Chain A
Amino acid sequence: MKDKDGVSGVDSSSSGVNRRDFLKVGATAAAVAGASSVGMAESATAASFNPKKFAGTTVKILLVDGERDQEGIKDKISYIQKTHGIKVEVTALALGAQLEKIQSVLHAPTSEYDIIDNLGFTVSGVVGGGLFTKLNDYIANKELTASTYNYPADFPAGQLDYTSRYDVAKNKFGGKDVYLIPGMHSGSVIMFYRKDLLAAAGIPVPKNWDDYIDAARKLNTGGVSGTTMIAANDVSLILVDWYARFASMGGKLMSGTPGAKNYKPNLNGATAVRAVQHMIDCAEVSPKGVGSFGFTESVDAFSRGDVALMLCWSTIAGSAFNPATSKVASKIGAVQIPGDANTSGRPIRGGWGLGIPKNLPQKRKDAAWMVMQYITSAEFDKYQFDKYQTDPNRRGTYVDAALNKKYPYLKVAGQAMENAKMLDVALIPECFELVGEAAREFNLAIIGSQTAKQACANAQASWEKILKRAGHLA
């Protein structure tokens, strides 16, 4: 559906909500969250919650580096020490190293870290492996959880079924058991564009993929590239740019189920090929060397004012709206990603979930919960977004009036977040391997070493081999 602003909306008939519903839900959540922000630290007097119950302990947190997640916590270390009496230590590692570290600490006799941040695409492997503490009892316990915490109401439903609830027995997302709390950031993919350039060229904001490439070609002039992409041999090539195109062109990535051993990819179908071809076409009007661009290079080029259109994780590119880090902060607009007729611009669901390792003594788990509760609170969510523009985890933050005034893309990011779609292969632990193989093939197509059709056929063959080896495809 499209709203009167011309913003590409979302399909309210699917699992999502439209903007009006979203704002309504958010307003309620905001009211509760507002109360929460006041009460979190001082709520020792309310009910029997006492944030200082585990004072004198140390809580170690493991996060990913490069996504600004650790910054807010570092700012608040002395505040947490004051309000909770707990010393907090933060370690942030590059993604690969962090994933590796998580595997080793979760399988050690006792975890080195008390709180671990988990990438959504790895949840089936780590939470599915029964390596995290179930949090239901903590959330229900009034002595250990502030009455204003507002879980689950203040969190987008789709995110809860992705980076929070998991059915370990059936090894599937969702269910009633809570193992993670959405954080340090959530988010999805939205489209960023230069309002001034589109207006000067008399081009409307693209609403479908043909419009997108047409606009990119017309805007590719005067030292500005029409578009940019994550086109390097990097998983985000698939997760951001390819999947956004593929899913909103009507593509269906997988058929069958892993359990039935008929889990088959559809990577060599017409839609998959068209999505790769669209990226190849976009590369012609992208900055030179786009084939080596990860999201940092793309966002940097956009923030320098060298690019007119860009799809990106909202949590990464939000900094383009910050005058301190962007030359074009006041000239940018953001909308939902384009979608073809009969489909919606439905992007991939991203985000992380914070959990407490199972291999910890009870006292460390309890102290970890107190800290985790604070860093996933409404108060902290707003602080972190306002200062560092990482995507919020709570509905109340997405609809916060003051924050929306300052960062106009926030409500768009919130809508994308409510309606985002989980990557199909996130169901299985081989997710990263599959995505990596496809990224490698599509990167070769974008830099001209093979055609879109060859890339898709090669990716299909790789995926089938991996799925057969893992026992998901007979």
Chain B
Amino acid sequence: MLYSLGISFFEFDRVAGKWNFLGLGNYKEILSDKVFWSSILVTGVMVGVALIVEVVAGVSLAIFFGQKLKGSKFVRAILITPMILNPVVVGLMWRALLNPQWGLINWFIGLFGIDNPPIWLADPKWTLWTLIFVDIWQWTPFIFVVVFARYQALPMDVFESARVDGASPLKIIRYITLPLVSSAVVFAAIFRGIDSFRTFDLVYGLTFGGPGRSTTTLSFYSFENGFVYYRYGFASALSYIMVIMATIGFSVLLKWIPVRRNH
């Protein structure tokens, strides 16, 4: 950590093989860099949209499967499969599914008479949303697993009492289930939010930040500068700005979301 902080004030000259001190030069360059600001926007949209959908869907699934319906164990096992797949495999799999010539998705859309379905990974209007969709597909199960585990551990007599008192299923969810699982939801959301903020592998595998800069996230931009262009100092400075942003962002989030300690 300290080493990378140190090199954020330098730039490496590959030909001369030495580090040149730049002071705050890398940080100044980042703040005046258009791509940096567009990456913040892309990352913000990605984290915001994906997290909201993942939390809503994950919690809904946890409550649904909490009803212990017939065959739910089998469906649950299938449901968590995306989460355990290697991100590179996920990227390759979705590239194939979204292939404009022979991909399953556009073939399926074609069955409904749509002749010109979108080019999901090459049209800037769609790429970010495609990326968000794949992220949701892969990571909703994570929220589901965490919340479901908490839900299963809740004392059943509370729910029984509510039913005896005549509470409707919706009221039970609103006034009993959600408050009782809120700590697990917040934990899962923060964990997932931090992970989503660092999203790199999915971008690398699916869009490589393009077309243009339409899917360049902060992490990908940092990777590109560090490991494609060998601007180690610039990439380190970018990473430190990300650390500061994440620390501030999630501290605020923790204060903003109330979590009950005692039920």
Binding site for B on A (CB under 8 A): 96, 99-100, 103, 107, 124-126, 128-131, 171, 232-234, 287-289, 291-292, 301, 306, 429-430, 432-433, 436, 440-441, 443-444, 447, 449
Q: Are B210 and A443 in contact (CB under 8 A)?
A: yes
Shortest beta-carbon distance from B92 to chain A in Å: 12
Q: Are A443 and B14 in contact (CB under 8 A)?
A: no
B44 near A: Cβ within 8 Å? no
Q: Are A100 and B212 in contact (CB under 8 A)?
A: no
Q: Are A291 and B228 in contact (CB under 8 A)?
A: no
Shortest beta-carbon distance from B21 to chain A in Å: 15
Given contacts A232-B122, A233-B209, A449-B211, 20 further A-B contacts (CB under 8 A): A96-B228, A103-B14, A124-B15, A125-B230, A126-B14, A129-B14, A129-B15, A233-B207, A233-B208, A287-B100, A288-B100, A289-B101, A291-B211, A430-B229, A433-B229, A436-B229, A440-B212, A444-B124, A447-B124, A449-B212
Q: Are A440 and B213 in contact (CB under 8 A)?
A: yes
Shortest beta-carbon distance from B166 to chain A in Å: 58
**Chain A: which residue is nearest B212 at the CB level?**
A444
* 7 smallest beta-carbon distances between A and B, as pairs: A289-B100, A233-B210, A292-B122, A291-B122, A433-B229, A100-B227, A444-B212
Shortest beta-carbon distance from A177 to chain B in Å: 16
Shortest beta-carbon distance from A192 to chain B in Å: 19
Alpha-carbon separation in the docked complex, A72 to B58 (Å): 49
Shortest beta-carbon distance from B17 to chain A in Å: 5
Given known pairs A129-B14, A130-B17, A449-B212, the reply for A291 and B119 (CB within 8 Å) is yes
Shortest beta-carbon distance from A374 to chain B in Å: 31
B38 near A: Cβ within 8 Å? no
Q: Are B122 and A289 in contact (CB under 8 A)?
A: yes
Alpha-carbon separation in the docked complex, A449 to B126 (Å): 13
Q: Which chain A positions have C-beta within 8 A of B15?
A: 124-125, 128-129, 171, 429
Q: Which chain B positions have C-beta within 8 A of A443?
A: 210-212
Q: Which of A124, A287, A306, A432 contacts B229 (CB 8 A)?
A: A432
Binding site for A on B (CB under 8 A): 14-17, 99-101, 119, 121-124, 207-213, 224, 227-230
Q: Considering residues B119, B123, B212, which has the most beta carbons from chain A within 10 angstroms of its beta carbon?
A: B212
Shortest beta-carbon distance from A167 to chain B in Å: 13
Q: Are B101 and A301 in contact (CB under 8 A)?
A: yes
Q: Are A447 and B228 in contact (CB under 8 A)?
A: no
Q: Are B14 and A429 in contact (CB under 8 A)?
A: yes
Q: Are A432 and B228 in contact (CB under 8 A)?
A: yes
Alpha-carbon separation in the docked complex, A335 to B207 (Å): 33
Given known pairs A129-B17, A440-B212, A449-B124, the reply for A292 and B229 (CB within 8 Å) is no
Q: Which chain A positions have C-beta within 8 A of B17?
A: 107, 129-131
Could you give 27 example pairs across A and B, Cβ below 8 Å? A99-B227, A103-B14, A125-B15, A125-B230, A129-B16, A131-B17, A232-B210, A233-B209, A233-B210, A233-B211, A289-B99, A289-B101, A291-B122, A291-B123, A292-B100, A292-B122, A301-B101, A306-B101, A429-B14, A430-B229, A433-B228, A433-B229, A436-B228, A440-B212, A444-B212, A447-B122, A447-B211
**Chain A: which residue is nearest B225 at the CB level?**
A433
**Chain A: which residue is nearest B215 at the CB level?**
A233
Alpha-carbon separation in the docked complex, A171 to B13 (Å): 13
Q: Which chain A positions have C-beta within 8 A of B119?
A: 288-289, 291-292, 447
**Chain A: which residue is nearest B127 at the CB level?**
A292
Shortest beta-carbon distance from A304 to chain B in Å: 9
**Chain B: which residue is nearest A458 at the CB level?**
B212
Q: Which chain B positions have C-beta within 8 A of A100?
A: 227
Q: Are B227 and A96 in contact (CB under 8 A)?
A: yes
Q: Which chain A positions have C-beta within 8 A of B227?
A: 96, 99-100
Q: Which chain A positions have C-beta within 8 A of B210?
A: 232-233, 440, 443
Shortest beta-carbon distance from A225 to chain B in Å: 10
Q: Which chain B positions have C-beta within 8 A of A447?
A: 119, 122-124, 211
Q: Which chain B positions have C-beta within 8 A of A430?
A: 229
Shortest beta-carbon distance from B157 to chain A in Å: 55
Q: Which chain A positions have C-beta within 8 A of B122?
A: 232, 289, 291-292, 447
Q: Which chain B positions have C-beta within 8 A of A171?
A: 15
Shortest beta-carbon distance from A468 to chain B in Å: 12
Q: Are A125 and B14 in contact (CB under 8 A)?
A: yes
Alpha-carbon separation in the docked complex, A288 to B110 (Å): 14
Q: Considering residues B207, B211, B227, which has the most beta carbons from chain A within 10 angstroms of its beta carbon?
A: B211
Q: Are A99 and B229 in contact (CB under 8 A)?
A: no
Q: Which chain B positions have C-beta within 8 A of A440?
A: 210-213
Alpha-carbon separation in the docked complex, A306 to B213 (Å): 30
Shortest beta-carbon distance from A381 to chain B in Å: 31
Alpha-carbon separation in the docked complex, A54 to B213 (Å): 51
Given known pairs A287-B101, A292-B119, the reply for A99 and B212 (CB within 8 Å) is no
Alpha-carbon separation in the docked complex, A171 to B14 (Å): 12
Q: Are A444 and B211 in contact (CB under 8 A)?
A: yes
Q: Considering residues A126, A292, A429, A430, which has the most beta carbons from chain B within 10 angstroms of its beta carbon?
A: A292
Q: Are A429 and B230 in contact (CB under 8 A)?
A: yes
**Chain A: which residue is nearest B29 at the CB level?**
A469
Q: Which chain B positions have C-beta within 8 A of A126?
A: 14
Alpha-carbon separation in the docked complex, A441 to B212 (Å): 6
Alpha-carbon separation in the docked complex, A201 to B16 (Å): 57
Q: Considering residues A126, A233, A234, A287, which has the most beta carbons from chain B within 10 angstroms of its beta carbon?
A: A233
